[in-house]
Amino acid sequence: MNHPSPDPAPAPVAVSSVYTPPKAEQPAPPRIRHIGRVNWIGLWALYRKEVTRFLSVYNQTLAAPLVTTLLFLAIFTLALGRAATVVDGLPFTVFLAPGLIMMSMIQNAFANSSTSIVSSKMQGNIVDVLMAPLTPFEQTLGYALGGLTRGLMVGVVVAAAMAFFVELSIFNIWIMLFYAVGASLMLSLLGIAGAIWSHKHEQMSMVSNFIITPCAFLSGTFYSIDRLPGLWNLAAHLNPFFYMINGFRYGMIGLSEGSLAIGAAVILIGNAGLWALCHWMFASGYRLKA
């Protein structure tokens, strides 16, 4: 009886003694970003932060100044309208409107930069700006432009609403824009300097209550300074806020009670001096790194 022959053994398979796993793809190294002379991305981020901050509470930063300015217009028109219906040949409301618009712009430009920096110092997050790859020039510019933007936006909103009650006009748009931008920038820089100097909101309120508000109210916003006697008239001409309002009023209605050349010099010299001060404060870390 024949038995079936067993199946032949399979041929041996060569096996490598060492297992080599497949090579994983190495991640590409991070790309080195060259900032250049100006960190435009960082500057834009700081500016956008400042604008977003006040736009997120527009009812306080835009609507509140609008209501306050319209109340001033109503009160002074009702209280003084009969006694002073004409100022230098113009209706009192027409004379009053440019001063109210400028006053709202400069007060809000100051409030924006000052509140932002003081709040950041008290909360401890000012270090995020100081440690960012931003130069003192870029830090100053970012905060200053934020205040400037808020000032101009408030001015546009107030003027648009006031146009329903007062016949507004533009006599020289370039002079009007020069004083609007220059004055808002000056108060924004002043807010930066005051906020860096201040350790808390109470100190910042002192600057606002004892410097900004008196200068704004005694600048000829609500009256013609030609009616002021002797020393009071001289004091009005020494007030830089008078030149801001006077130049802006001339740009809107063509009426000037002071020298436009002196006003332009006050704007330019004031901005240059405040810019140098703010730049030094950021560069030295004055009351910022303590």
In three state form, how does the secondary structure of 57-101 look? CHHHHHHHHHHHHHHHHHHHHHHHCCCCCEECCEEHHHHHHHHHH
Q: How many CB atoms lie within 10 A of CB 108?
A: 26
At residue 142, the 3 state secondary structure works out as helix
Alpha-carbon distance of 60 to 117, in angstroms, equals 18
The residue extents of the domains of the chain are 40-284
Residue 37 has a pLDDT of 85
Return the closest-CA partner of residue 189 out of 284, 275, 116.
275
Q: Calculate the CA 95 to chain-centre distance.
A: 27
Match 């002379």 to its residue by tokens: 37
The answer to whether 218 touches 239, Cβ cutoff 8 Å, is: yes
Quote the DSSP letter at residue 209.
I
pLDDT at 19: 59
CA nearest 113: which of 256, 278, 244?
Answer: 278
Show the low-confidence residues of the chain (pLDDT under 50). none
pLDDT value at position 285? 92
Terminal CA-to-CA distance of the chain, rounded, Å?
Answer: 107
Instruction: Give the pLDDT confidence of 115-160 residue by residue, as tens digits.
Output: 999 999 988 889 999 999 999 999 999 999 999 999 999 999 999 9
pLDDT of residue 67: 95
Residues 130 and 167: beta-carbon distance below 8 Å:
no
> Quick one: pLDDT at residue 152?
97
Q: What number of helices (H) and strands (E) belong to the chain?
A: 12, 2
Judge contact between 198 and 283, C-beta under 8 A.
Answer: no
Residue 56 per-residue DSSP state: T
Predicted TM-score (pTM) of the model is: 0.86
Q: Is there a contact between 201 and 128 (Cβ–Cβ < 8 Å)?
A: no
The conformation of residue 208, written as its DSSP 8-state character, comes to I
DSSP state letters, 112-131: HHHHHHHHHHHHTTHHHHHH
